[in-house]
Each structure stands twice: as C-alpha cells, then as structure tokens.
Amino acid sequence: MHTFALLPTGGGKSICFQVPGMIMDGICIVVSPLVALMNDQVRALKSKGIKAMALTGGIGQDELVSQLDNARYGDYKFLYLSPERLQQELVQNAIRKMNVNLIAVDEAHCISQWGSDFRPAYQNIHVLRELHPYVPLIALTATATPKVVEDTIDQLNVKDIQIFKSSFKRENLVIRIIRENDKLNRICEILESQPGTSIVYVRSRNQAESISSNLEARGISSTFYHGGLETRIKNDRLDAWKEKQVMVMVATNAFGMGIDHPEVRNVIHIQLPESLESYYQEAGRAGRDSKIAFATLAFNEEDIQIAKKQFVDAAPGFDDIKGLYRNLNNYFQISYGEGVYTTYSFNFNDFCTTYGLNGIKTYNGLNTLDRLGVIQLSKEFGRKSSLQFLVSSEALLRHFDENPKLSIVGKTILRMYGGIFETKNRIDLEQVARKIGIDIDRVIVAMKEMAHLDLAEIELHETDASITFLVPREDERTLNPLKKEIEGVKKKKEASLAAVLDFIQQDDRCRVNDLVAYFGEKSEVECGLCDVCTSKTKTVVSVAQLSEEILKLLQETSLSSRDIARHINETEQSVIHTLRLLLDAGKITLTATNTYAIK
C-alpha cells in the first residue's frame, strides 16, 4: 500500500518515513529537492547514532562510487538524494542492487506543474519504482492546494495510494495583519507585550543586521541569521537561540529548514511573502508546543510595490533564460555536448558585467535553472568575504606607513567600512578594487598579508559561488522541453502574489479560515482570535465617547496616537480618525515631537 501524507508544518512528516525505515530491514531512499534540509536531517539522524548519508551536488565520480558502496555495504538506514542525482545511471545501478525497504518522496508538491516549487526532474521518480516495483512509496508535503494534490498523485502513477490529510487549522496560532509604517516600534511593542522565543522575518541581510542591532540597543535580546554567515556562526547562533541564551532571531527566509523549536511564541513578518505556502510554513513555526502563539505580518503600501517588483517584474521570460544559459556556457567555455556534472567557481558580479546583465533578473534566472534541474547553485551563493582588524588603529597605521603595498588597500577598507575594529565586516572585494583602481588579485594578496602579520582576521571568498551543470550543453535542445514550465513561472508568481495581497488586504473574513480555504479546507467556525475576528467582537465606541476618553488622557501628558490606542484599548485607526476631528475642532494640537496635547 502506498501513502500520500499531507501534513502541516510541524506535523511530523519526517517521522512518517524515518520510523518505518528504521524498523524494516534494509535502506530507505529519500528523494528531496532541498540540499539544506537533506543535510539537516542527515545530521540529526547521525546525532542519534543512525547511519545516513546525502548525495548532493559537487561530489566527484570517485567519491560518488565510494559513497554508493558505503550505502550498499555499510549498514546504512537512509540515503538522501536529489531528483537530479537520481537520473545518473551510476546511481540507478547502485540503487538497483540495494535492499530498499521504503521510497520516501519529500516536498512531493514539487512533482506537480501547479506546485510553487515545481521541479521537472521530480517527474522521473518513476525510475525508483521501476528499480524496486514492490517497495512501498510514501509521498509527503505540507503546502499543497487541492489542484496540486490531484496532479501529484497523478504524476506518481501508483495504484492503491492511501491519502492521510491533517487539518491545516492551528487552533493555538493567533494571526494578525497590521498596516504599519514604523515597523521597528511595532516589533518592540509585540516583543515586550508577548515575551518569549521569537523570529522576525525580514527581506534582506542588511535589514537582519540593522533590526537586530536596534533591538539590542533597546534592551531586547537578539541576534541575526542569513545566508551570508559562515556555517559555524549560523550553527552557534541557532544553538544560542534554541537554548534561550538569545530570545529573538532576526532572519531572512534562509532561517527555517530543519528548525525544530517547539516554544516559539512569536513569528513576525515585516515583508510580504511571495506565496501563502511560504507564509504558512514560516508562520507555522510558532506554537508547536500547542500553547498560544502569535503570527504577525506588518506591511504598508510600499511593501506591496516592492513585492511586485521583486516577485513578478523581475521574473525572467523564456528568452531571458535562453540567453542566460548560453552566456553561462560561454563564460565557462563549455563545448556542445559536454559539461554534465562539472563544477566551476562563479563570480556573479563579473558574469553580469561581462554580459551586461541585470543583476536581479539574472539572479532569479539562475534560481530558475537550479529549480528546473539544469544547474545547481552552491548554498554559499552571494557570500562576501569578511575582515576585522585585530590591532589598535594607531598600531595599524604604523604598519601601513612601513608597508605602502598594504597601506592603499588597508586605508581604503578603513574608509569604506565602519566598526571594522569591533566586529567582522563583509567586504566586497570588487568594490574595494574599483575604488583603488587595481586588480582584485592585488586586494586579495594584501588582505592575506595583513592576516599573516596578525593585523586582521579574514575570511576570503574569492568567488560568489560554485555552479554544477547537471545536464550536458545542448543549448536550445536543453531548454525547449522546459519552455512551458519557464513561461509558467511568471504566471505562478503573479497568482501567488495576488493570493497574498487578497489575504492581507481583506478585513471581513476570519484569517485562519481564509488561509486554510486556500489549501482546500472549509471551516464554518471562526477562530475568534485573529485581528478580523476580534474587530468584529469588539464593542463599537462612539466618536463622542472616544473623544472624551482621549481628552481625559491628554490632560495628564502629551501622547502619540499609538500610546493613546494602547492606554484606552482601542484600534489605532479609530484613534487617528478621532484625533483628526479633535484637531479640526481646535481642542488639541500636534507637538513638534509628533505627540498630541490639549490646546
């Protein structure tokens, strides 16, 4: 009997295949599109003494053969691999000879062309069924709409499949959508009124660092997490957060895979997600201990325009992808018919400059090629080098005076990056080189020399990433079969963002019911906790009554609209409306510090 499990985030999907995989004799084959998640699960299994391995990109032929032999003869219980890796004949031949007890397809919505993360290579999972036709298969996903579920089951092409579906409703999760311009103050209010372990999701790495710094300055225990940090630092910060040494993690969406913390009280978004699927996954990290938790999304009109530019306008078309793929092959001088499973260091800025490409659209194009199984980007993509000076500024300048070759690079870095004596700063090597007017190699040599003299601690990433080509170069023959999927990406992004905007802008439907309805679940019972439900049950206060309360409050001291709303337990929108009427009537005045006072 085959199984399709549709379980929400935190619903225990991995246990569904890990427990039977452990109990039965043999090895469980796990197909997953997410390298980070594969590595996290393998690490977790190993920590429990369970033998597991993952076959990720960038593994050489000899190492691959060795690992496959270990999987077959080394009493391993789990073998994780990507759908692209499964297409290799060497891998297929090895799996054919293994004693496979279960086939697990994680993130199964990727099989469906209607899924938000469609991967064409996933549609070739039938290869495993042909290698082991009598082995049971379990497909798992957390974020599939009814259309995606139907198409996924159809693509799996298995008979007698039993569907297990858990409710998407989280009774303990309070969803609140807030229109807000001063997001930092709002974050602080939430964290102070609802203390506990929290996640704040932001749009960029700079935002993560800036907001974390501001929270610390306001006495809120915080750190930040993003893809630009080295693995050791990310692991240290994750551990500190899990152990409650730090209460708030300010992070990009790089923070999420493998996160298993049951006691998260707040998940706060201050940017719009690209889809309700991703929002549900991220918000669902709150309250896994079944206690009351809060998922808050703060947005303003500018966020809507940014989201449209980021998720829709910057999505490349088929011609853009064809040009990008051709330029990649030319950049690495790959001959026609060659290149499969070759890995190259990749300098993103140099590539864009060489071919005059738009950075955002190129980045999205590379991710599209990665998702469609044409290339694989390393997880370090976009990482910059870093440097921190270890001696005093006086000692450093003395060294520079004695060594003119170091001086020009060192002093340029000092001018460009503040706080570089206190903490490591990310350094853009190309920008430093352009500022001085020298080759980037000379900047690297100077930084290495400073490290050798113990003047600085450095971490060098001379290129942005590595790229592994997963198919041989055949130009249009490579991409033409994917044209429909590539052209569908933009349409999917438009539809996904439209669903997000409808979700955040409506104010008459229960948020929880609205969200689960997107995933095909009907509910007549409102949650009673979200911002929409509480606004319906709140007693309507007349303008006259509200005016009287505000005037009474302002007799004591001048206050902001937010402080007034908090003191009298009324919505800020109602307060602002009443304040305008009082201003027009000449009963109050607006002070120079944007507070309101009795006139």
Per-residue pLDDT band for 380 (boundaries 50, 70, 90) equals: low
Query: Which of 238-247, 269-278, 315-324, 410-419 has the weakest average pLDDT?
Result: 410-419
CB 269 within 8 A of CB 280: no
Q: Check whether residue 155 and residue 39 sit in a common domain.
A: yes
Q: Check whether residue 57 and residue 187 sit in a common domain.
A: no
Cα distance between residue 492 and residue 496, in whole Å:
6
Helix (H, G, I), strand (E, B) or coil at 135: coil
What is the DSSP secondary structure assignment for residue 461, as one 8-state letter?
-
Cα R_g (the chain), whole angstroms: 27
- Whether 529 is covered by a domain: the verdict is no
Q: How many CB atoms lie within 10 A of CB 505?
A: 11
Nearest to 280 by CA among 165, 119, 169, 371: 169
Confidence at residue 423, expressed as pLDDT on a 0 to 100 scale: 77
What is the mean predicted confidence (pLDDT) over 542-567? 84
Q: Check whether residue 17 and residue 125 sit in a common domain.
A: yes
Q: Check whether residue 550 and residue 484 sit in a common domain.
A: no
417 contact partners, CB below 8 Å, separation of at least 6 = 387, 425, 427
Q: Check whether residue 10 and residue 64 sit in a common domain.
A: yes
Q: Check whether residue 412 and residue 268 sit in a common domain.
A: no
Per-residue pLDDT band for 119 (boundaries 50, 70, 90) equals: low
Confidence at residue 200, expressed as pLDDT on a 0 to 100 scale: 96
Q: How many CB atoms lie within 10 A of CB 148?
A: 25
Mind listing the pLDDT tens digit for each residue in 60-81? 778 889 999 999 998 899 999 9
Q: Check whether residue 31 and residue 158 sit in a common domain.
A: yes
CB 90 within 8 A of CB 67: no
Per-residue pLDDT band for 479 (boundaries 50, 70, 90) equals: very high
Residue 393 has pLDDT above 60, yes or no: yes
Q: Check whether residue 41 and residue 95 sit in a common domain.
A: yes
Phi–psi pair at 499, nearest 5 degrees:
-65, -40
Residue 296 has pLDDT above 60, yes or no: yes
Q: What is the total count of domains within the chain?
A: 5
Q: What residue numbers bound the domain in which 230 lies? A: 173-299
CB 272 within 8 A of CB 500: yes
Confidence at residue 249, expressed as pLDDT on a 0 to 100 scale: 95
- Whether 532 is covered by a domain: the verdict is no
Query: Which of 150-164, 267-281, 568-582 has the weakest average pLDDT?
Result: 568-582
Cα distance between residue 91 and residue 88, in whole Å:
5
Tell me, what CATH number does 586's domain have? 1.10.10.10
Tell me, what CATH number does 177's domain have? 3.40.50.300
What is the mean predicted confidence (pLDDT) over 104-126? 76
Q: Check whether residue 15 and residue 119 sit in a common domain.
A: yes
Name the average pLDDT for the chain: 86
